[in-house]
Amino acid sequence: MKIHVYAGLKDYFLPEFELADEVHNTDQLKACLLAINAQAGKLLSTCRFAVEDGFIDNTYNFKAHETVIVVPPSSGG
């Protein structure tokens, strides 16, 4: 599974990386990301996840070769 992160998450992870662990939903993905860098926990708890062109929730079942986008909250000005 390929992971893309943006904004403040780049302080904790590479912008794009492969995840070798098999995950089935966003809770499992968060757990894997926390295992990579536990310091990202506060930010990860507020992130949304997207596959292709749409946001997903925890009921979405990941497929092995999907690209998942992790989107932190944004602020405008």
Q: What does pTM read for this prediction? A: 0.88
Indicate whether 8 belongs to any domain: yes
Q: Is 68 exposed, middle or buried (0-12, 13-18, 19+ CB in 10 A)?
A: buried
Number of domains in the chain: 1
Q: Is the pLDDT of residue 64 over 90?
A: no
Average pLDDT over residues 10-21: 94
Average pLDDT over residues 12-41: 94
Closest Cα partner for 67 from 31, 29, 32? Answer: 29
The domain of 11 spans: 2-71
Which tokens is 31 given? Answer: 């757990």
* CA pair distance 56, 52, nearest whole angstrom: 10
Neighbouring C-beta atoms of residue 56, cutoff 10 Å? 18
Indicate whether 77 belongs to any domain: no
- Give the confidence band of 77 by pLDDT, cuts at 50, 70, 90: very low
